[in-house]
Structure 1
Amino acid sequence: MQSLFITLGLLHLIALASPGPDFALILRTSLHRPTALGAAIGIALAILLHATFSLTGISLLIASHPWLFTLVRLVGALYLGWLGWGALRAAWQGGEADRLQAGGERGGLALGIRRGLATNLLNPKALLFFVGLLAAMVTPQVGSLTRGLLILELFLLSLAWFGLLAWCLSTPRAQRLLGRVQRPLNLVTGLLFGAVSLSILGGMAEQLI
């Protein structure tokens, strides 16, 4: 069990450190610390749900039913595309208000939690990652207590990583730096969200064809 916790934790940390929509959302909201911290909490809560669903078989049920999984992929692709469009629009306008707004709005902790939760939870690639990772490593012989502790481990690692990232990127020094590069930053994050959205939609189109 100890090796399972260590291996799963290391693999999860590697996945967390990889650039993706979650990292882009923290970057985009980092000019407003409450929103950035809220986004970190929301992402960690979404990972908690993904891990719970995966270990209880709900995510596998979704992935094994084509119409249900297609619906999840479509909603997720459209949401990520909407976030990408907002970032690209902010990059194009480049006004002072846009540089100070977190993800298009200065809504504070609650807005950050909602966006973090939606960004990760509606990302079908995250769903597939947890289904594949946990199905491969957590055998049926693993008891319910150990499964609960594994879920808690993934949640705490996610909260610690994204919380630390949000805190560090929202310091005054980091804000001054990010404020000077906000337009290209919005452009990069917009392109990243858009690329993920288009890749999901492209995969769906290939399946239909």
Structure 2
Amino acid sequence: MSHYYLFIMMAMLLIILPGPDTALVTQNTLTHSKKGGGQTTLGVFSGILVHTLAAVLGISAIIVKSAVLFSVFKYAGAVYLIYLGCMSLWSTRQKGTQREESEMSSKYKDKSGFKQGFLTNLLNPKVAVFFLTFLPQFIDGGTNTFVQLLVMGITYAILTFIWFLLYIYLVHRISAWLKKPSTQQFIQSFSGLVLIGFGIKLVLEKRH
């Protein structure tokens, strides 16, 4: 794998670019502290691993080639992103929610962070397309393709995990400012709009 280090550099640039995962991790870190952000990151990590295995085993190729399957995944993912965005916007209107109520439901909300991160990746067919178009560019012709794809996919997942852990730490460090009611309301509203925007973008995305 002579292009492995080039792959790592390119992958890091792509990982740092803000997307639905960043919006979710930011929102859940602010709402549920580092634990919520960490669980969301673990969900994202798991979703990437599933896509890696799918790409290696050829399942992603079937989804991309099948107009029906592609559309099912695309619209399911879009609906889920829009749902998360709407829930985020709705939560900014619930200013009168009692602290006791939020503490009682904190366990459920913390656990749902993993589900949000996982489903956001799993139901996004563009991730499958990404793995099928990006990873092959760094494959060496004379060696085992299966192993190369697997190593690059796992590497991408690990790099994503590390980046979000650093990102969560940064968000947590400035959380005193970020957790001000006015700031948090703005970020939650902004995150909600971003998620809805990505959902709409996914709906309008055409197959190539």
Measured against the shorter chain, the TM-score band is 0.7 to 0.9
CA distance in 1, matches of 2:91, 2:39: 21
**Cα offsets for 1:31-53 (capped at 9, x unmatched):** 22211101111111111222222
- Following superposition, the deviation at residue 54 of structure 1 comes to 1.8
Q: Which runs of 5+ in 1 are unaligned?
A: none
Who is 1:128 aligned against? 129
CA distance in 2, matches of 1:20, 1:150: 21
**Cα offsets for 1:152-179 (capped at 9, x unmatched):** 21121111111221233234xx221111
Amino acid at match of 1:66: A
- Check conservation: 2:136, 2:149, Cα contact below 8 A: no
Q: Over aligned residues, Cα RMSD in angstroms? A: 2.6
- Asked whether 1:15 is paired with 2:14, we answer yes
- Following superposition, the deviation at residue 95 of structure 1 comes to 4.9
Who is 2:29 aligned against? 30
Who is 2:176 aligned against? 176
SS in structure 2 opposite 1:93? coil
Who is 1:39 aligned against? 40
SS in structure 2 opposite 1:92? coil
Who is 1:58 aligned against? 59
Who is 1:160 aligned against? 162
CA distance in 2, matches of 1:138, 1:117: 27
- Following superposition, the deviation at residue 64 of structure 1 comes to 0.3
CA distance in 1, matches of 2:159, 2:70: 27
Q: Which runs of 5+ in 2 are unaligned?
A: none
CA distance in 1, matches of 2:171, 2:107: 16
- Check conservation: 1:40, 1:166, Cα contact below 8 A: no
Give the direction of change, closer, same or farther, for the CA distance of 1:15–1:105 in structure 2 (3 Å limit): farther
SS in structure 2 opposite 1:136? helix
TM-score (norm 2): 0.84
**Cα offsets for 1:87-130 (capped at 9, x unmatched):** 111233345669x96xx965365322211111122122222222
- Check conservation: 1:54, 1:134, Cα contact below 8 A: no
The alignment-based identity, stated in percent, is 24
- Check conservation: 2:88, 2:191, Cα contact below 8 A: yes
CA distance in 2, matches of 1:203, 1:162: 26
Give the direction of change, closer, same or farther, for the CA distance of 1:66–1:5 in structure 2 (3 Å limit): same
